Amino acid sequence: MKHITAIALFAIASFAMADKSFAQDHAVRATIPFDFTVGTKLLPSGTYTIKSESPQVIMIENHDKPTAVLSLVLPDSKKSRNGGKLVFNKYGDQYFLSEILCDSAEMNMAIPPSKLEKRTQLQNARLNTSTQTFVAAR
């Protein structure tokens, strides 16, 4: 009887470990050297992990400071060559996360522009100061 209990506990532990390793495989990690905005939340520079919570929701979590945010996402048909990358739209001195492209983590997603980003984009349109910035991710 003890032998069967031990085997059952081992099997449960194996499934739990497999589930954790599966979840880690579907995450993107990147060090972002500047403050940036997701939705309406300004996030500080630092090392972040981005995980898929559902097909339409991601969690962006800072390792250095206790900061996290959930965001809606849309599937992105773009593919990332040579590893993963995060794409930021830059307007003046403000950065907005717009895409997560990482084939190895099965995360090719676009973040719809927030009202704040649209307003910032309009304000900077006259100055023609918008650009895209890329940050390597793994």
Tens digits of per-residue pLDDT, 6-27? 333 333 433 333 344 444 457 8
Query: Is residue 95 helix, strand or coil?
Result: strand
Q: Name the residue ranges covered by the structural domains of the chain.
A: 27-137
Give the model's pLDDT for residue 12. 40
pLDDT at 133 over 80: no
Please state, in angstroms and rounded to a whole number, the distance separating the CA atoms of residues 58 and 79: 18
End-to-end CA distance of the chain: 46
* DSSP 8-state assignment for residue 25: H
pLDDT at 1 over 70: no
Please state, in angstroms and rounded to a whole number, the distance separating the CA atoms of residues 66 and 79: 31
In this prediction the pTM is 0.73
Please state, in angstroms and rounded to a whole number, the distance separating the CA atoms of residues 120 and 115: 9
